[in-house]
Structure 1
Amino acid sequence: MFLSRDVYNKILEQLLAGELHSGQIINRRQIAGEFGVSVAPVLEAMLLLEHEGLLETIPRKGTQVRLIRPEDILGQFMIRDAIESKAARLYWSKSLPDAYEDMIDFARQVDNAPEDLLEDWRMEILFHKELVSMAGIPALTKAFDQTMKLNLFFTMARTVPPEKKHGRDNHEVLIERLNNADSADEAEEIIRTHVWYAKEYMLEGTGPV
């Protein structure tokens, strides 16, 4: 029997895989029937997903998959920018030199993965989470986890025309540049440029959907 966390993970996978679409009404009794559970764990899972910003309750309509608006995407990028930039100032001279070889290997794995696949994006998020964690501030890592879950949902649901999709920035070069930075200010600017790389195309390609 599924617990609420199992139901949460299943609904999350459906959201990220595009099986549940932005604006789609979520019927908890229907989901309970599909998963073979009572309504209670489904309700708990939906409340957690709503708290994380993936679902939203609309008066007289019910619970639906969150609508995606350009201002929401922009806001998430700004939060990610703030987290990663602050982390870079902390790890650039303290932790990165010792972890350099491991991070270079990790970066090569990310750069060689196929683009635009869910597992590929997850690998990239794990890479950036490892960078943030090197700052040694658990609250920063927790905040990164929270914002990147919503970022991943936005990314997988984006509607960027194929001709406007850009390859992502090179992560091996990113690590080399961070390792060679001469100051915290330089490290911060390097990671900020990377975070915002080609994001304008995603913003252009996504309206309220």
Structure 2
Amino acid sequence: MIHPIVQWHKNTTTSSQSKIRYNYMIRLKLSDWTDRKQEPETEESEDLLNPDRGPLTTRVYNYLFSQLLHDQIAIGDTLVPFKIARELNISRTTVRQAINLLAEEGWVTTSDNGRITAVKQPKTKHPENVSASDFNRETETEATYRRIFEKLLNGEFLLGQNVSAQEISNDLNASLGTVRQALDWLCARGLFIRVPRRGWQVVDATPEEIVDIYRLRLLLESEVIDRVVIKANDLELENLVKDCKRIIEQFDDLNDSDRRQIDYTFHRTLLELSESSVLLETIDPLIMKMALFGVYQELPPKTSLKGMKEHLAIARVLQNRDVELARERMRAHLLRAKTQYETE
């Protein structure tokens, strides 16, 4: 049996004029797929970019304080750093630093198992009222990045195709400089490559190279498992299990795009729970590439459902802090996915 990507390579080799349309599109917010900046987020870099808005930790503290003040976080509610970080599109470390400030003032407490609970409500207004939208202001370059990425995952560019920054600029009604910067960002994520004197080219890969990506993931994602067991608290792992269960329950309502999105999001979530910027920056581009190559692959629904059940199995053993079994199940999950790209 010839794998779809192998067949795609053969088709494009024998008929260079043929145009292939792909109906899949992964509908994700930019923040679900990539960091807002190429460099790790720091207090210093945030101050340089926004000198009039104050240090990032202070702004997050002000945001959470405002939530407490206006009953959007009530006494007894649980604060989940991972979810707050995803909502605000910032690092968990920054959120934890802001929560520590709230704890020092007695607004929240942390239990032995890591559960953070609101225990006191402010009665006076804070000097600065901050909303979630203050953290999610999309710049022109970010918007262009997102729109190019959507085109890429919608099959509007073929694997290995050279793209013109000028044509994209005209199509998106964005400045040429903005498009070039967005394409460079996509290069940094491994989805385009810069070709001297020719511009940018969509990344391509043979089935053998894809298998190599999985071999790397087999090595590195075991390390992710180790760190998640150490770094994630009980509530975060409990929520991970609940999310996996909910997805399986809603499986019949999901389309192909949703299923690929879910696979990426699960592995990205583990990377974030590991709290390792090195692992995140190393593995995330590999997972993103596989999301791109998935546009050219048609999997039967039962195969996707099996993958989601494997996600749940991994989440459950992580919740039990069984690192060896979690590593074993992650390895089995990736090996099964790898075999889909191996030809007989």
Matches within 5 A, 1:60-71: 62-71=199-208
Moved more, 189-198 or 49-58: 49-58
> Percent of aligned pairs with the same residue?
23
Q: CA deviation at 1:33?
A: 0.7
Gaps of 5+ in 1: none
Closer, same or farther: CA 138–46 of 1 in aligned 2, 3 Å: closer
Partner of 1:89: 226
Amino acid at match of 1:24: Q
Moved more, 133-142 or 102-111: 133-142
Closer, same or farther: CA 7–87 of 1 in aligned 2, 3 Å: same
Q: CA deviation at 1:79?
A: 2.9
CA distance in 1, matches of 2:185, 2:272: 24
Matches within 5 A, 1:42-191: 42-58=179-195, 62-92=199-229, 95=232, 97-111=234-248, 112-113=250-251, 117-158=256-297, 166-167=303-304, 168-169=306-307, 170=309, 171-180=311-320, 182=322, 184-191=323-330
Q: CA deviation at 1:131?
A: 2.4
Query: Are 1:192 and 2:331 an aligned pair?
Result: yes
Amino acid at match of 1:73: I
CA distance in 1, matches of 2:188, 2:254: 30
CA distance in 2, matches of 1:67, 1:45: 19
Contact 2:165-2:199 within 8 A present in 1 as well: no
Classify the secondary structure of the residue corresponding to 1:166.
helix
Q: CA deviation at 1:89?
A: 1.9
CA distance in 2, matches of 1:151, 1:74: 10
Partner of 2:343: 204
Amino acid at match of 1:77: Y
Contact 1:52-1:146 within 8 A present in 2 as well: yes
Query: Are 1:41 and 2:181 an aligned pair?
Result: no
TM normalised by structure 2 equals 0.50
Q: CA deviation at 1:94?
A: 5.9
Contact 2:231-2:275 within 8 A present in 1 as well: no
Q: Deviations over 1:154-190 (max 9, x none)?
A: 22233x5x67x833321223323444565x3333222
Q: CA deviation at 1:34?
A: 0.8
CA distance in 2, matches of 1:132, 1:204: 30
Closer, same or farther: CA 41–107 of 1 in aligned 2, 3 Å: same
Contact 1:166-1:198 within 8 A present in 2 as well: no
Which residue, out of 5, 9, 15, partners 2:152?
15
For the aligned residue pairs, the C-alpha RMSD in angstroms reads 3.0
Larger CA Rg, structure 1 vs 2: 2
Q: CA deviation at 1:15?
A: 0.9
Higher RCO, Cα 8 Å, sep 6+: 1
Q: Deviations over 1:105-142 (max 9, x none)?
A: 11123334356622332223222222233333233234
Closer, same or farther: CA 60–40 of 1 in aligned 2, 3 Å: closer
Moved more, 72-81 or 23-32: 72-81
Contact 1:55-1:63 within 8 A present in 2 as well: yes
Amino acid at match of 1:63: W
Higher helix share: 1
CA distance in 1, matches of 2:316, 2:325: 13
CA distance in 1, matches of 2:237, 2:199: 49
Q: Deviations over 1:53-93 (max 9, x none)?
A: 22234567553222221233123223332332112123336
Contact 2:317-2:325 within 8 A present in 1 as well: no
